[in-house]
Structure 1
Amino acid sequence: LAGSGASRGLAVGQFELMAIFILIILGWFLAPIYIKSGVATMPEFLEKRFGSSSSKFFAGISIFIYIFTKITVTIFAGGILFYKIFGFSIYTSAIIILLITGLYSVIGGATAVIRTQAFQAVMLLLGAIILTLFGLNEVGGFSGLKQSLPADYFNMFKPVSDPDFPWTGIIFGAPIIAFWYWCADHYIVQKILSAKTINDARQGSLLAAFLKIFPIFILVLPGLIAAALFPGTTGDEAYPTLLASNILPVGIKGFVVAGLLAAIMSSLSSVFNVTAALFTNDFYKQKYPDASDRKLVLIGRLSTTLVVITAILCVPLIKLVGSQIYIFLQSVQAFISPPITAVFIFAILMKKTTSKAALWTLIIGEMIGISRLIVEVLNNLGILNQPFLQYYAGTNYLHFAIFLFVVSSILIISISLLTQNSEDPKINKIKYLLADSFSEIKIGINRLKPGSAVSAYKTNLILSAFIVLLIIGLWSLWY
């Protein structure tokens, strides 16, 4: 975020704001569905809805995404930080981070991951806030920052022709990616599934939605500060450059560095844990349903170890990441997420969606998305000579996400209509779908009588409205 902020300004923060709306939807409508379904993973949700074929394909795609995007990007970010602060090479830094994180993930399991994440989140927030405040003071406050940078840096809505953040892509494309990430990716939804009650899950989602406002100020804004203080510094070296400078006292600098390293390890440990859960529950347990809990724990730890080893072997792929990690990550997700988003949305909205439609939408959609990724890589290497393929490769990633989502939606509706009579009646359809979620909300709202004590529903409604008003305020400020 800071790297893209240093290069393009506040517009990258739109991804965070769009995610807020999706988190509100998650808390109010989807969390009740997921919890009532009684599933342990998101592929298991698809299995209950469509059978094992779709769920295994989805689980396999998820593991692939985790290893080749989340882990690669995270260790690249950590490598840059180590290089700027300690002088270690990016590859050496990546291996150190992977080994340390993998060690406590394998030994401690999910419990260690959850406990360390809570502590690391606090450290990240405090460290980022401190760096932002010191940076603003150094640049002369927000007014000084605006004087030091082009006016375009403070425009959150870019023209349709913008190569990175066209407003059409932000409004219609970013939510497609966000829905997959926040509502269908087990990396995130595992926290919802572990909630004790629906209200706990809802409040957790709304709290996350509120906290998503902060990255604009504590992650994107420092990128702008780095661009103002160190002209010519752009891309993902902006944040480490700001941190390595002399704007922070030595002791405070150490705390901020610790917070960032904690955040990096938190992200990695969560990916390790999720990958182990997917492999154990959606592959091993399916094949060996009578396996003991002790055996499942062992398999989980072995799969985590395998992921760590695979990640270390993939460290050389770091050089394929461009100068802006965040845009790289969003573009890859834009090529992969739309079919998954379409399948989950229609699984919930349209009860007549069939298992064959879900499976073929995933297969065809992912083939189209991966083809787009391959063509773009070839185009960047200067191999493509066909004008059509060059145009295909040059299409904005957010606009492509819209296109792929529309294609996936047409596929799942059409195939469902054609395969209604061939649907397996043994598949356990999840009954608690969106209509039931609306009913549950309506019942809660009807209980809000004038003069009654502040209930959980009332608190959640007020918080939701407050968050939406904050976003509207930010948009009006930086339109």
Structure 2
Amino acid sequence: MHLGAVDWGVIALYLVFVLGIGIVSARRAKSGNDFFLAGRAIPAWVCGLAFISANLGAQEVIGMGASGAKYGISTAHFYWIGAIPAMVFIGVFMMPFYYGSKARSAPEYLRMRFDEKTRALNALTFAVMTILNSGISMYALAKLIQTLHVFDAPFAALGLPQAWIFHGAILTSAAVVLVYIYMGGLRGAIYNEVLQFFLIVAGFAPLVWLGLRQVGGWHGLQASLAPGYTHAWAGMAHATTNRLGVDWFGLSMGLGFVLSFGYWCTDFLVVQRAMAANSMSAARRTPLIAAGVKMFIPFIVILPGLIAIALTSAPDHPGQAPAAAVAPGQIVHHDPGVIPIKIDPTSGKPMLDARGQPQLDYDLATPNLLLRYFPIGMVGVGLTALLASFMSGMAGGVTAFNTVFTYDIYQAYIRRDASDGHYLTVGRLATLFGIAASVAAAYLCSQFNNINDFLQLVMAFVNAPVFATFLLGMFWKRTTGHGAFIGLAAGTLTAAIHHGLTLPVNDLPGLKGGWLGVTHTYASEMAQNFWIAIWAWGACFLVTIAVSLMTKPKPEGELTGLVYSLTPKIVHETGPWYMRPVILGVIMLTATVVLNLIFR
């Protein structure tokens, strides 16, 4: 790949703005409240865009493009079923508890509602998850830089091996994120996420338009793909067309309820953005504003994957060389190599599944499509959009990690009564440590041919059981601290056992499961993830109830503002419709139903 001066200029300008925002934000990061919660002074619309952008990282832009190529339009279920309802729920029902309790983190809310041991368990598992999440973004960025050969010439001029480009890209991206979070804290991350959101839209909307033109529009895309790729619901009716390999119950319960609500309602990475809002009303509207944007994100992150697979010779979908030009409505033939075979970075040989067949590297669907269609100048915009998504994913994980580490691990168990300045220093050091740990986690991702599969596996272990804990804690006053802790531990252990006893079809035992012995195989890695989440949530939910009934709950006077039935109801909000959370929530749910019907 050869970048022109304009392309390099766009990338350089983006980095200047990123670091500039960090420098400006540093002027206001003088206290722990400023550094960790942006002083709770951010407008609702900014928090809303940051709320969605924190999730619009590598796992979204690259991972959802990879899932679109691997599973088809049914990947949109991660949005229209696996996001919008949960975002409405947290905005209408749960944000009053988070924001009103004045908790500085989700684990701190668990301490206030239950006890220290429940907080500690959640803080530790969440810290691990955020590190892995940031590592995913670093891995995707480094892989992109290596694949596009952006730095081949500089490394060759310095006499350095080309294999070092991967490592250099990881370290460089880590350094950039470290600088602006270390200086500006959450405020620097939030305003950078808003910038990154607009860059992502500007970079990928033209890519989708050009790609659809090449394949003859939506109807041409449908005709070019195997059955099941372009029908979100109809394709699930038969095993031969069910790309996800999940039945309606596994999809609705695993993704639509457990993973969805577990992430959007309890994951501090996104909740932190709403908690930085300047009022209770703004905090409640933050996830609802994000939901209005979220429902249209599939059109810029999933469609590139479908277009790429339509132009690729997949093992189950043979193709031929394409014609030079395609008129609207004309069916295009396939172009071998848009999505390449996945190569083992150690041996340099193709990675094979259990059948001995080479695996497609779905993570390269979106980057390769970008190279195919964008000219000089636009390549810089597209590449900058990808960089923005990676930076956003890394920053989201690191800002959540430094807050949880400082308040829920260091202050709680190492030094309780230090000054605010001391905790601010610890938070900055935690940022440094979080970046370093994320670098190590980045190398784990090389075992997966779809980083979204890896992300959902991590969430099944962490978010699924903790959602049961939050749900019972907020809406059942009888839940006890002992019940919450034992239930959370049981849910996490159940996830590990289920993972160890099951394996996706055609995969080998190891990181993807089966390390205790294979008692069941799933049609896909995503199907396995959904059922791990279901079992983990169910175990936590049932064990928490059983233990709570046998132990003594907190007095009701200590639960005011923490439990729904013991909290004064919010006065009905007046003003324009777009300022009322309930009305906004109804609009978002209605629009989601319409989208599901259109693409059924």
Q: Is this a same-fold pair by TM over 0.5?
A: yes
Structure 2 residue 437 is the aligned partner of structure 1 residue 310: yes
Quote the residue 1:450 is aligned against: none
Aligned position for 1:466: 587
Taking the TM superposition and a 5 Å limit, the aligned residue runs for 1:197-346 are 197-232=279-314, 233=339, 235-245=362-372, 247-286=373-412, 287-320=414-447, 322-346=448-472
Measure how far apart 1:182 and its partner are. Answer: 1.0
Q: Does the CA contact (< 8 Å) of 2:135 and 2:439 recur in 1?
A: no
- 1:5-24 maps to which residues of 2 (within 5 A)? 5-18=68-81, 19-24=83-88
Q: As a proportion of its length, which structure holds more helix? A: 1
Q: Of residues 148, 168, 171 in structure 2, which corresponds to 1:95?
A: 171
Change (3 A) 1:166 1:102: farther
Distance 1:151 1:377 in 2: 25
Distance 1:54 1:244 in 2: 48
Corresponding residue SS for 2:478: coil
Q: After TM superposition, list the pairs within 5 Å mapping 1:426-465 onto structure 2.
A: 428-435=558-565, 439-440=569-570, 443-444=571-572, 454-455=576-577, 459-465=580-586
Identity level (%): 26
Matched, 1:41 2:169: no
Residue 332 (structure 1) shift: 2.8
2:542 counterpart of 1:410: yes
1:99-118 superposed Cα distances (whole Å, 9 cap, x missing partner): 22123222332222122111
Structure 2's unaligned 5+ residue stretches are: 1-63, 152-164, 315-338, 340-359
**Cα offset, 1:386, TM superposition:** 9.3
CA RMSD of aligned residues (A): 2.7
| C-alpha contact 2:199 2:385 (8 A) present in aligned 1 | yes
Structure 1's unaligned 5+ residue stretches are 448-452
Contact 1:4 1:223 in 2 (8 A): yes
Greater mean deviation of Cα atoms: 7-16 or 362-371: 362-371
Once residues 482 and 80 of structure 2 are traced to their aligned partners in structure 1, the CA distance between those partners, rounded to angstroms, is 35
Question: Equivalent residue of 2:418, what SS?
Answer: coil
* Corresponding position of 2:5: none
- Quick one: which of 161, 186, 189 aligns to 2:268? 186
Q: Secondary structure at the match of 1:326?
A: helix
TM-score for both structures, normalised by structure 2: 0.72
Deviates further, 73-82 or 162-171: 162-171
Aligned residues: 465
Specify which of 217, 221, 225 is matched with residue 141 of structure 1. 217
Partner Cα distance (1:385, 1:355) in 2: 32
Q: Distance in 1 between matches of 2:583 and 2:556?
A: 43
Counterpart of 1:3 in structure 2 is 66
Q: Distance in 1 between matches of 2:484 and 2:138?
A: 34
Q: TM-score, normalization: structure 1? A: 0.90
Corresponding residue SS for 1:95:
helix
Cα 1:385/1:353, change in 2 over 3 Å: closer
Structure 1 residues 31-55: Cα deviation after superposition (integer angstroms, max 9, x where no partner): 1121111111000000000011100
Displacement, 1:160?
A: 8.2
Question: In the TM superposition, what whole-angstrom CA distance separates every residue of 1:212-236 from its partner, at most 9, and x where no partner exists?
Answer: 1122100001111111234442511
CA spacing shift, 1:153–1:386, aligned 2, 3 Å = closer
Which 10-residue stretch deviates more, 469-478 or 209-218? 469-478
Deviates more, 1:396-405 or 1:290-299: 396-405
| 1:258-290 deviation line (CA, Å, top 9, x unaligned) | 011011111101211111111111122224333
Larger relative contact order, structure 1 or 2 (CA cutoff 8 Å, min sep 6) = 1
Deviation at 1:378, TM superposition (A): 11
1:393 Cα deviation from its structure 2 partner:
6.0
User: C-alpha deviations, 1:80-127, integer Å up to 9, x for none?
Assistant: 321232355434322222222123222332222122111111111221
The CA deviation at 1:436 is 6.2
